[in-house]
Amino acid sequence: MLRHTSPGTLRCGSQLIDLSTPVVMGILNTTPDSFYPPSRISGDVGSILAKAGQMIDDGCTILDIGGMSSRPGAKPISPEEELSRVLEAIKAIHASYPNIIISIDTYRSEVARSCIDAGATMVNDISGGQLDPGILDLVAETGVAYVMMHMRGTPDNMQYNTDYEDVVLDLLKYFSNRIKVLKRIGIEELVIDPGFGFSKTPEQNYQLVDQLGLFRFLNLPVLIGVSRKSTLSGTIGRPVDDTLEATTALHMAALGNGASILRVHDVQAAMDTIAVFNQLAYANTLNNQRLIPK
């Protein structure tokens, strides 16, 4: 098993995340139609704070708030509706838990700006700046951290865009080129996400996790979002509600190949996975020291 390696730290506003050990990003969906029903939270602030508080107690470092579903085939909603779903949630979480890092899951610059003003210090963009290039200028202007995911097309049509010469090499080229563009305009606090389930076949999804270690050569933290996705449901032949164990298995593989951030629905299970992985990595270190001649 590979030991976890990381670029070290990630600055989110005034806070610094230590990535020498992997961390968890908890998913909070203020949507009525996200693919995993238990992750949906109504607009009631009390319910949102209760869910956020539980995830924080369970050990997450980042809360990722999303107001528009990006499941395959999802139709876009207006920016106004998206903002109405997330803004009060972010304000309430920031007021109640000022030390938690809040990420806004959006590709729209106008939504991201209002959320940054409300306390978000990370933007999680499924389009990598390709659906609204203005979001890149906003990130450069505000200095927040930026998660750049790979996706072709939009959630509505992305699963028709899975023709790659070599999915791993194609994504490495994509990220290498995009990193140069983003750094040129002043974006430094970057995370890459290969986009498991986004414009990828199930086979390509598994290829990416298997070869995730290659992305470390880009010298940026890698986020992986495999939690309860349909690829896992299809693999084990059971519904999404029964995919926690499969998710945990794939998390362990991703960690072994260098993932720094796990984006998850089940924070406690992910934290347990990281704890076991860290202990295995420590054992690996001891074994290597034992084998080195004195």
Largest separation between any pair of C-alpha atoms in the chain: 66
Which pairs with CB-CB distance under 8 Å and at least 24 residues apart come from 124-132? 124/64, 124/66, 124/149, 124/193, 125/149, 126/70, 126/151, 126/155, 126/195, 126/198, 127/151, 127/154, 128/178, 129/178, 129/182, 131/107, 132/107, 132/108
Which candidate in 229, 238, 290, 294 is catalytic? 229
The 3-class SS string of 88-132 reads HHHHHHHHHCCCCEEEEECCCHHHHHHHHHHCCCEEEECCCCCCC
Asked if 12 and 143 count as a contact pair (C-beta separation under 8 A), the reply is no
Which candidate in 216, 263, 290, 294 is catalytic? 263
Our answer to whether residue 229 is catalytic in this structure is yes
Taking the CB of residue 160, how many other CB atoms lie within 10 A of it? 11
CA distance 280 to 67: 37
CA-CA-CA-CA dihedral for 18, 19, 21, 25, to nearest 10? 100
**C-alpha of 201 from chain center:** 19
CA distance 37 to 15: 32
Our answer to whether residue 228 is catalytic in this structure is no
**C-alpha of 126 from chain center:** 9
Q: Which residues are catalytic?
A: 229, 263
